[in-house]
Amino acid sequence: MNESLRAIWQELGIAEAILAEKRLCIYEEATALVDVETGLDGRVWQLTVEAAAAWRAMQAAAAGDGVTLRIASAYRATARQGELIRRKLDAGQPLSTILQVLAPPGCSEHHTGRAVDVFSPGGPVVEEAFEQTPAFAWLQAHASQFGFTLSFPRDNRYGYVYEPWHWCYQPPAQV
């Protein structure tokens, strides 16, 4: 853990022991990012070059099957993750509760620029009900062909809530 990350954790009151307890890892923050899509609120979502290409290919294939996939969240900086946790702390939520839905700064797959939160227009956004949508059924059947996997299935080993919307692109293994 580098010094700037350690400072963020200290400010939020997150103990380093949580890394071992929750079996978390520190993700390298993406550096080279490309714009992928603009949300309804005007935010521009970014991914790494490779993940963006895989996402576009998957999105096009889904569209060919009549399924519209859109991004609710993509790359997120470590500092931004800290701000999101700080906001919930300031609203009075206990840290342990917050960390069931938000990874500690540095530990979110969104830092890698390879993770996307997916929704389909008109359907639930970042809610478990996404599991009931045709978009989720399509992803379960086809996402792996594009290198995307579901990171947090039910009863996952990180103790995170089930996130049917969160998919991460893993680059093909280097030979």
Q: In the complex, what is the shortest distance from the CB of residue 167 to Zn ion, in angstroms, rounded to a whole number?
A: 8
b/e 93-131 (16+ beta carbons within 10 angstroms → b): eeeeebbeebbbbbbbbbbbbbbbbbbbeebbbeeeebe
Q: In the complex, what is the shortest distance from the CB of residue 174 to Zn ion, in angstroms, rounded to a whole number?
A: 25
Which of 114/166 has CB closer to Zn ion?
Answer: 166
Q: In the complex, what is the shortest distance from the CB of residue 76 to Zn ion, in angstroms, rounded to a whole number?
A: 8
Which of 111/166 has CB closer to Zn ion?
Answer: 166
Which of 57, 62, 36, 35 has its CA nearest to residue 121? 62
Q: Which residues are at the interface with Zn ion (CB under 5 A)? A: 117, 166
Structure tokens at 136: 């989720």
Which of 6/80 has CB closer to Zn ion?
Answer: 80
Structure tokens at 118: 């997916």
Residue with the closest Cβ to Zn ion?
A: 166
Q: In the complex, what is the shortest distance from the CB of residue 118 to Zn ion, in angstroms, rounded to a whole number?
A: 9
CA atoms of 35 and 124, how far apart (whole Å)? 24
Which of 92/112 has CB closer to Zn ion?
Answer: 112
